[in-house]
Amino acid sequence: MRLDILYDHIGDDRIAKLVEAFYPKVYADPYLSPLFEGDIQEIMRKQRMFLTQFLGGPPLYSQEFGPPAMKERHLPFEITPKRAECWLLCMGEAFKETGLNKLPAGEAFFIRLRKVAGIMVNS
């Protein structure tokens, strides 16, 4: 499925709901929470911007922060296979909570996130 179609089918509201459902799970996870310091609202804002762009919507993240280059931005953090797995589990739960798992666009979105999680492993 093309990126612009993913964004069109998922939309801003569902991206916001996904981020709101996802981060409490991340902060509650003992493997992930040490990686997330700082203002949760700012972290969530950046994630909404990134996911909007990631799904083919407006390039909000790049307009404010430059190219996403997520692998490079995450190099300072120890991302192990276990942490990538926990991240995906939290995201999967958030997909279920928001109903994204029931949409064809949601399935395509999660497949892309699974690839990203694997790419981010650096330890």
pLDDT the model gives residue 56: 94
Residue 23 pLDDT > 80, yes or no?
Answer: yes
Cα 111 to Cα 3: distance, rounded to the nearest angstrom: 12
pLDDT the model gives residue 101: 97
pLDDT the model gives residue 107: 96
- What value does the mean pLDDT take over residues 47-70? 96
Note if the pTM is more than 0.75.
yes
Nearest CA-CA partner of 87 in 42, 40, 33, 37: 33
Contact predicate 106/7, CB 8 Å: no
**Which ranges constitute the DSSP H helices of the chain?**
3-28, 40-54, 60-65, 70-73, 81-98, 104-120
- What value does the mean pLDDT take over residues 3-20? 93
- Give backbone dihedrals phi and psi of 76, rounded to 5 degrees, phi first: -65, -15
